[in-house]
Structure 1
Amino acid sequence: MSADPERQLKGRPDFYRVELADMRIPELCEALDVWRSKCHEDGIPVWGELDFLDFDTRILPRMILLDVDNGPGFGVYRYWGTRVASFNGVDMTGLRINGLAPARHARYSEEQYRWVIEHARPSLFVACLGEKAWDRKYEAMLRMPCRSAPDAPLDRVLCVGFYDDVPQTIEEYVDAEIDLENYFDPDV
């Protein structure tokens, strides 16, 4: 589950992957319903048949669209919503995943995108950004695969994020055993 071997050895993952059945965040559930409504027989929608206008306006600022090219950093962000930018403190539109900071965030984000592409199905990922007690921000990110054309490989990932400064908020919306309170060592 973790991209960082040190954290894996300590038994603390960089993120949690949560089954969609355990997701209860209303905006993310609505986004997943829209994504599913546009899926082809293979269970994957084509970007263009699915687009930003299909989603409620309150979801748009929480959205990210990644163009997967399998180069260094795995892909380029085509769209980085305003809520995502304000939460992360940067607009990554036009930039690569490996440009995210801190480096741990870039590593686990790439790992999540790869998981979605390799498994050809959406999933929810929960993580903590910021490693100091005073700088902790929590995210629940729904990542959903797409194609750019019916005959294209999986080459897009559409994401919708839910963010909060309080871990209990996300824990209340995710019906799974995750421990965000003890995510990092207290001495870090």
Structure 2
Amino acid sequence: MKTLPPISIDGKTRLVVKSEAVTPETIDDPGVQACLSYWTEKKGDAFAPKWSEFRLYELPARVLPYLLVLDVAPGPPPTFTYRYWGTGHTQYHRRDYTGKTLEDMADSWSTELLTVQYMMVLETRRPIVFLNSYDGVETPLRSLRMPLSEDGQTITHMFGYVGRTGLAESLQPLFSGTLD
């Protein structure tokens, strides 16, 4: 488990984030499994499916607000730009990052956490679920990250789902700028 630097909100260090990478098959989350199943079906024999063959509307409606699609521009370092930012993410982050790069995120702790996760997907070239634990939040946030490739060689996009079921109230302080 990787422990990231403490999160600072309003100049006060309050939260510590720990992120553990696990295989998606081990996660009992219907949203994770629906996205993984669709990704697996679309990829066929390739290491990853093509973004051009991905149809978000073919996924269950309940996962759509929690989906992400990123364009990956080669680096070094690579640049990650949000092509699709689900409305559930806007609700929690209180910002829509569609068309924005990862570096545009307001919270530096989010940028650091996500950079580590996205780089791990680039390195392993396979789906990974990150269990993100926050001090004071009992249930880890489940973040599925999966590669997409237009040419069958290079990761040109990433597809993600964040399982927020049962976490709405306990995560709200992270994105509202205040903590009790």
The correspondence for 1:144, drawn from 143, 146, 150, is 146
Cα 1:17/1:151, change in 2 over 3 Å = closer
Does the alignment pair 1:103 with 2:104? Answer: no
- The one-letter amino acid of 2:102's match is I
Does the alignment pair 1:19 with 2:23? Answer: yes
- The one-letter amino acid of 2:110's match is H
Aligned counterpart, 1:76? 81
Does the alignment pair 1:161 with 2:165? Answer: no
Q: CA offset at residue 126 of structure 1?
A: 2.0
| Structure 1: runs of 5+ lacking an equivalent | 168-188
Runs of 4+ in 1 over 6 A off after TM superposition: none
CA contact (8 A) 2:85 2:96 kept: yes
Residue range with higher mean Cα deviation, 67-76 or 98-107: 67-76
SS in 2 for 1:35: helix
- The one-letter amino acid of 1:68's match is V
Aligned counterpart, 2:94? 89
The number of residues matched between the two structures is 159
Q: TM-score, normalised by structure 2?
A: 0.76
Cα 1:20/1:136, change in 2 over 3 Å = closer
CA contact (8 A) 1:77 1:93 kept: yes
- The one-letter amino acid of 2:46's match is D
Q: CA offset at residue 139 of structure 1?
A: 2.5
Kindly report the root-mean-square deviation, in angstroms, between the aligned alpha carbons of the 2 structures.
2.8
- 1-structure distance, mates of 2:72, 2:3: 19
- 1-structure distance, mates of 2:41, 2:4: 36
CA contact (8 A) 2:48 2:152 kept: no
Aligned counterpart, 1:117? 122
Question: Percent of counterpart pairs with the same letter?
Answer: 25
Structure in which a larger fraction of residues adopt strand: 2
Residue range with higher mean Cα deviation, 37-46 or 105-114: 37-46
- 1-structure distance, mates of 2:133, 2:106: 13
Q: TM-score, normalised by structure 1?
A: 0.73
Q: CA offset at residue 14 of structure 1?
A: 3.5
CA contact (8 A) 2:35 2:161 kept: yes
SS in 2 for 1:38: helix
| Structure 2: runs of 5+ lacking an equivalent | 8-15, 171-180
The correspondence for 1:54, drawn from 55, 58, 78, is 58
CA contact (8 A) 2:65 2:87 kept: yes
SS in 1 for 2:51: coil
Cα 1:89/1:13, change in 2 over 3 Å = closer
Q: CA offset at residue 128 of structure 1?
A: 4.6
